[in-house]
Structure 1
Amino acid sequence: MKHTPLFSIVIPAYNYAQTLARAIESVLTQSGSDFELLVINDGSSDNTQDVLQQLHNAYPSRFCSVNRTNFGAAATRNYGVEHTSGDWLIFLDSDDEFEPNALEIMREAIKENADARMIVGGHTSVAEDGSCRYRGIDAVHNSKANAEALFAGYLLNKSVTPSNGATAMHRDIFKKIRYPENFRNSEDIPVFACSFANFPCAFIEKPINRVYKHDDSLRHNIAYAHAVGTSLIDVVFDPAVIPGRLQKYRKAYFSQRCLSLFRTHYLAGDSASALVYYRLAVKNHWTVIFNASYARKALRCFFTRKNSGRDAM
């Protein structure tokens, strides 16, 4: 009988050939033999496939890889769910890496929290200049919080901050929800929200992975952010996924989502789109106008648009 691994590590790979070996080797050098690794080349146009072949030669039979047409992160993660067998899934980005003792920490957390279906750890954020900063998750406070507090904390006040690579999700979660494949970013938000709302969670105040920051990350892509827009709210608050008692947070999340989109477009210099989202936020919840930081930015956008109109005359 084939042994079911404890962990399935999934690495979605798209045009990060220069860092892929680092990510893969950080998994293969973990202690224990209770994990499997699947690398999914999501239609990369660089030399990702060459790197994978070199690693297969260096580590024969140690991991599996597959090449697919580019479908995006959500579809790639769903493929990983469907084509692995471990009880727990961890999605590690191809430009990040595990800390040396990541899986050992996760094993201990699983043993100590038998009812948990999501384990959230901290991570080390590495800036482009090489400087590092530990990003914790307030394990003591969060471990005492109920599902509603965790759900609201994640979506609204950001007191709960899971990140891919530092979070292990039990396969039971994916019986209830999958990543929305029509989204090209923000696809992890509905999954994390569902997990907090419906499953016991545990927290560990230790770094699990190292997250490398860079300017071309999808999370900073304004086109993808605009494409997802406010449609994210409907997916996050799908009544089939989120219990009725938590639907009361929908309105507040709508305003926050609009403010987030406002800030994204503001930083990108797109004053017109930024103002659209700011007005939506105010229309949904008028107290937004008392947030001085956003109000100042909105005024700058307004005068930028007004002055641009004068220049065009």
Structure 2
Amino acid sequence: MSVQIDVVIPSFRLEEHYLLPILSLKTPADTQIRFFLVADNPAVVLSPVIRQLVDDQRVFLSINPQNMGAARTRNKAMEMGSGEWILFLDDDITVPVNLLEIYAEAIRRFPDEIGFIGLVNMPPPVKSFSHAIVASGSMDIFKIAKDRKAFAWGATANMMISRRAMGDVRFSEIFPKAGGGEDVDFFMNMRERNGYKDFKSLPEAAVEHPWWNNEASNFKRPFRYGIGNSLLPQRNPRYAYHDFPNTIETVFLALLAGIVAAFVKPSLLPAIGLFIAGAAVIEVIAGAVQSAKRKAKPSAEVYFYLLLLRLIQEAGMFWGNVSRFRFQGITERFNYNGSFRKTHFYRTNTYKLVKWVLYPLLVIWIWRCYTSA
């Protein structure tokens, strides 16, 4: 059985030490491999070695006339090829020499799958910010191939799909240009097109992904992801549900109540101020308890970063909805596991349980303070 694989690599940096091993991967027997490298940076300076590999037969290169963003660049790269299978790879991963052989063998063994989720390993964290990212769970999708036999979506850092199963599904360009949510949306729509069949996990197809910027703290990414995530329930309402307000939404609603109180009953303003301060304290306590349960590194700095990561992503979700005047998106959540369960407020975890206990106590205390004044 002959196999055709188009390897899609969107890139901004085109760093030689990452791309050369990928572009030099050995072609498995009875397999046609073509690499489609799309530079989303019109000012990029191509290294002579990479330029020499571009032959428009096995390796193809296209340079965008302007920065088009992750979604549009991936779509362009996919349209450049016609192979039966498409392998998404990031431009900053380290690949094993037999990666294509593993994927080709999986295709031959499971030709009816809609795609395969590869494994993305990251080095053990050293700095507090990276420890916080691991403990937050935001990178769990990288290792989903090791934890689940199949799943609704995967990371485009290392994932293969069937072009036949993809059909006319493409990455939506309404998501943040630098990425955030467009991958979830793409794979969920592709899954729906194929009778909601999950993608098969292929943990043996493992790559190594470095920490970004030498583990330097960066809060633009979680804010951007939050904006992207705010679009997912709107575009995919079948997976949407409502939950209790998160901390950012709670403070916003309290501030609205404060504005109303300022005109209707100013005597309530101190109580509302106490509630906002108490909500901040509860967030710190609940986050610390959850961090300990997730076995985060016991460090005040790690807990602080965890708190910031959560609040900044929540702020991104909030801003994403408010900036589109989609106020019904406040308290709206998304089932990332692809389930359709619509029962509201059903998800419980340690973080929520702590808040459910402390918020009523806070309200009772404020009420007593208010009535006894």
Range class of TM-score, shorter chain: 0.5 to 0.7
Is 2:250 the partner of 1:250?
Answer: no
Show the counterpart of 1:221.
Answer: 221
| CA deviations over 1:77-135 (Å, ceiling 9, x no partner) | 1101111111111121111132211111111111111211212232322356699x993
Count of aligned residue pairs for this structure pair = 261
- Partner Cα separation in structure 2 for residue 110 and residue 7 of structure 1: 10
**What is the DSSP-based 3-state SS (H/G/I as helix, E as strand, rest coil) of the residue aligned with 1:82?**
helix
Is 2:50 the partner of 1:66?
Answer: no
**The one of 91, 96, 99 aligned to 2:96:** 99
**The one of 149, 171, 182 aligned to 1:179:** 171
- Within-5 A mapping of 1:258-297: 266-267=308-309, 270=312, 273=315, 280=331, 285-287=344-346, 291-294=349-352
Which range moves more in the overlay, 217-226 or 5-14? 217-226
Q: Structure 1: which amino acid aligns with 2:24?
A: L
- Contact 1:90-1:165 at 8 Å conserved across structures: no
**What is the DSSP-based 3-state SS (H/G/I as helix, E as strand, rest coil) of the residue aligned with 2:46?**
helix
Show the counterpart of 1:158.
Answer: none
- Deviation at residue 13 of structure 1 after TM alignment: 0.7
**The one of 100, 105, 108 aligned to 2:105:** 108
When residues 204 and 72 of structure 1 are mapped into structure 2, their CA distance, relative to the original with a 3 A threshold, is same
When residues 296 and 229 of structure 1 are mapped into structure 2, their CA distance, relative to the original with a 3 A threshold, is same
Q: Structure 1: which amino acid aligns with 2:75?
A: N
| CA deviations over 1:176-216 (Å, ceiling 9, x no partner) | 41101111222100122233334354332313322222157
- Partner Cα separation in structure 1 for residue 313 and residue 219 of structure 2: 19
**The one of 181, 188, 193 aligned to 1:193:** 188
- Partner Cα separation in structure 2 for residue 107 and residue 261 of structure 1: 46
- Contact 2:223-2:315 at 8 Å conserved across structures: no
- Partner Cα separation in structure 2 for residue 191 and residue 209 of structure 1: 22
- Within-5 A mapping of 1:50-65: 50-51=46-47, 53-57=48-52, 60=55, 62-65=58-61
Is 2:148 the partner of 1:169?
Answer: no
- Partner Cα separation in structure 2 for residue 213 and residue 54 of structure 1: 26
When residues 100 and 286 of structure 1 are mapped into structure 2, their CA distance, relative to the original with a 3 A threshold, is same
- Partner Cα separation in structure 1 for residue 193 and residue 226 of structure 2: 29
Show the counterpart of 1:242.
Answer: none
Is 2:123 the partner of 1:126?
Answer: yes
- Partner Cα separation in structure 1 for residue 42 and residue 11 of structure 2: 7
When residues 56 and 80 of structure 1 are mapped into structure 2, their CA distance, relative to the original with a 3 A threshold, is same
- Deviation at residue 168 of structure 1 after TM alignment: 0.8
TM-score of the two chains, using structure 2 as the length reference: 0.57
When residues 93 and 260 of structure 1 are mapped into structure 2, their CA distance, relative to the original with a 3 A threshold, is farther
**What is the DSSP-based 3-state SS (H/G/I as helix, E as strand, rest coil) of the residue aligned with 1:49?**
coil
- Contact 1:20-1:95 at 8 Å conserved across structures: no
- Contact 2:11-2:91 at 8 Å conserved across structures: yes
Show the counterpart of 2:272.
Answer: none
Show the counterpart of 2:85.
Answer: 88
- Deviation at residue 220 of structure 1 after TM alignment: 5.7
- Partner Cα separation in structure 2 for residue 272 and residue 168 of structure 1: 31
- Contact 1:11-1:40 at 8 Å conserved across structures: yes
Q: Structure 1: which amino acid aligns with 2:123?
A: V
Following superposition, which runs of at least 4 residues in structure 1 exceed 6 angstroms of deviation? Answer: 216-219, 258-265, 297-300
Which has the higher Rg, Structure 1 or Structure 2? Answer: 2
Q: Structure 2: which amino acid aligns with 1:88?
A: W
- Contact 1:5-1:85 at 8 Å conserved across structures: no
- Deviation at residue 285 of structure 1 after TM alignment: 3.5
**What is the DSSP-based 3-state SS (H/G/I as helix, E as strand, rest coil) of the residue aligned with 2:112?**
coil
- Contact 2:9-2:37 at 8 Å conserved across structures: yes
- Deviation at residue 219 of structure 1 after TM alignment: 9.5
When residues 98 and 259 of structure 1 are mapped into structure 2, their CA distance, relative to the original with a 3 A threshold, is farther
When residues 198 and 175 of structure 1 are mapped into structure 2, their CA distance, relative to the original with a 3 A threshold, is closer
TM-score of the two chains, using structure 1 as the length reference: 0.66
Q: Structure 2: which amino acid aligns with 1:194?
A: N
**What is the DSSP-based 3-state SS (H/G/I as helix, E as strand, rest coil) of the residue aligned with 2:149?**
helix
- Contact 1:127-1:212 at 8 Å conserved across structures: no
- Deviation at residue 142 of structure 1 after TM alignment: 2.7
CA RMSD of aligned residues (A): 4.3
Is 2:212 the partner of 1:205?
Answer: no
Unaligned runs of 5+ in 1: 144-149, 155-161, 238-246, 304-313
| CA deviations over 1:139-162 (Å, ceiling 9, x no partner) | 8x636xxxxxx44xx6xxxxxxx2
| CA deviations over 1:285-311 (Å, ceiling 9, x no partner) | 3456x54425768989xx9xxxxxxxx
Show the counterpart of 1:137.
Answer: 145
Show the counterpart of 2:45.
Answer: 49
